[in-house]
Amino acid sequence: MKKCLKQERLDELETLRVEAAAKARLSNFDPAQAISHDDMRARYAQETLTVN
């Protein structure tokens, strides 16, 4: 098997692993427990200020 073909196969396997993980996470996703994007940005902005 050529090196580039082997790498393509490895990349495909990694993509399938990522998709499986995403599906597993989405099956347990509860929108009521989700944090808004603005809340997340505010939370990380505070942590960055505290760390620096």
User: pTM, whole model, 2 decimals?
Assistant: 0.54
pLDDT tens profile 1-51: 567 999 999 999 999 999 999 999 999 999 999 999 999 999 888 766 665
Q: For residue 50, which amino acid is it?
A: T
Helix (H) or strand (E) holding 2: none
- What's the pLDDT at 45? 86
The structure tokens 């580039």 sit at: 4
Rg (alpha carbons) of the chain, rounded to whole number: 19
